[in-house]
Amino acid sequence: MDSNAKLHIVWCDSLGAKSFSFAIEHKKKSILIDPGAAALQPSYPLDPAIKRELRRKAIKTIEKYAKLSEIIIITHYHYDHHVLPSDKDLKYNIYRGKKLFIKNPNYYINMSQWKRARLFLSELLSSINMSLEDYVSSPITMEFPDPTEKLVYAMSRNYGDYASRRRELLLKGKKWFEKIKQYWASHDWVGEIETRNITIRWAENRSIEHGNVKIDFLEPWYHGIEYDRTGWLVPLIIRVGGKKIFYTSDVMGPIIEDYAYRIADLKPDIIVLDGPPTYLFPYMFNRINLNRAIDNAIYIIDQEPELIIYDHHLLRDPKWRKYVEGVFSYAHKKGVELKTCKDIIEEKDTNVVVLQ
C-alpha cells in the first residue's frame, strides 16, 4: 500500500464558495487542478460579506497549494476553475515558475471563454514582461468535427413527448456550432508557450507523467447538454498509488449518457463528480435533463467505485439534496460512499484522502 499518494480537497462549493479544486500529491510532488474560486450567486441565501470572505479564504487555500505544486491544470476558463494573475485577493502570481496544462483556447471553446483565455494568457505573459502578440498566428486547421455526432447513446435515447422539442433545440444548437466553427477558423490563434519562467501546453488528448502520477487528458466534453452554449472542458483520468481517479470538471451530472458510460467503463476507484445545477431548475434546467443526470449518476454508482465526491453545482441550491435523494439512496444500497467535500472533511477531520 502506498500512503504517499494523496488526494487533497482544496476547495468546493460545499465549503461556501464556487470552486472544484483538488491537488494530487505523491512523495512530495504535487499537481494542482483548477485553481479558481468565485463567490456564491446573489440569489444564494447568505450575507454578501460572508460570501466575499469565503471566496477570499478559498483563494488563500489555493495559493497554499499552488506554492507546493510544480504543475497546474486548468480544464476551462470559468472563474470558479481559474483565477486571473491580477486578482485582488492573490498575494502573489501563483503561475510563475510552473508548468501549466490548460484547455486549448483556440477551438471547442465558446466566445466568452475564448476572450477569458486570452485575458488570462495576456496577464500571465505581461507579469513576466512578455506579450501575447509574440505567440499569435493564423489558424492551424479548419476541420472541426461536430462532437454531438459521436454521442451515440444520447442521440438514440427515447425522449417520449419531449422528442419534438429536443429535435428543435438540437437544430438550433447545430446552427450555433456551425457559426462558432467559422469564428475559430477566421481569427488568430494562440500557440503553446515556453519561457524561462513558465511553460504552457494545451491539455486535450495528452498524457503526462509527474513522478509516479500519470494523467490522461480526454478530448473536450460539453459543459452540460449537447451543443451547450457554456462551451467545453477537459476531463482527467489520474493514476497514482495504484488508484484510478476520474475528475469530471463541469459535466453537470453528467447529463450526457455517453459521458456516464465512458466514466463507468473506465472503472475508476474514485470519481470527482460535479452534480446537476438544481439551482437553475426549472427555468434554465428542465426536468428531462435533471432526470438524465440522476439516471447517469445511478449508472455510474452501479460500477461500485470506492468513493464518489459529489459536489460543485449541486451545492449552489440550499434544497439540492431533495432533487438527488434517489442518487444517495441508490449509493447506500450499493455500499458506495457518496460524499460532498464538506462531508469528507467533517467526518475524517482532514481534507486529505489517502490513496491506498
pLDDT at 194 over 60: yes
Q: In Å, what is the CA distance from 147 to each residue of 108, 152, 173, 187, 329?
A: 9, 10, 12, 21, 33
The string of pLDDT tens digits covering residues 328-339 is: 999 999 999 999
pLDDT above 90 covers what percent of the chain?
98
Task: At 130, list the grid cell.
Answer: 512578455
The string of pLDDT tens digits covering residues 29-81 is: 999 999 999 999 999 999 999 999 999 999 999 999 999 999 999 999 999 99
Q: How far apart are the first and last CA of the chain?
A: 5
* CA nearest neighbour of 284 among 232, 225, 222, 221: 225
**CA gap 338, 329 in Å, rounded:** 10
pLDDT, residue 124, reads 97
Q: Which amino acid is at 255?
A: I
Mean pLDDT of 290-312: 98
What band does 2 get if pLDDT is binned at 50, 70 and 90?
A: low
DSSP code string of 171-227: HHHHHHHHHHHHHHHHS-EE--EE-SS-EEEE-TT-EEEETTEEEEE---EESSSTT
The string of pLDDT tens digits covering residues 228-255 is: 999 999 999 999 999 999 999 999 999 9
Beta bridge partners of 238: 215, 245
pLDDT, residue 4, reads 87
Residue 38 contacts by C-beta under 8 Å, 6 or more apart in sequence? Answer: 17, 18, 19, 55, 78, 79, 80
* CA nearest neighbour of 110 among 229, 206, 18: 229
Q: Which superfamily is assigned to 5-354 in CATH? A: Ribonuclease Z/Hydroxyacylglutathione hydrolase-like (3.60.15.10)
Q: Which amino acid is at 273?
A: L
Mean pLDDT of the chain: 97
Mean pLDDT of 127-156: 96
The string of pLDDT tens digits covering residues 83-103 is: 999 999 999 999 999 999 999
pLDDT, residue 70, reads 97
pLDDT, residue 77, reads 98
Give residue 299's region: left, alpha or beta (phi > 0; psi -120 to 50): alpha
Note the pTM of the prediction, 2 decimals: 0.97
* CA nearest neighbour of 311 among 290, 350, 341, 338: 341
pLDDT, residue 356, reads 80
> What are the strands, taking DSSP E only, across 70-124?
71-74, 99-102
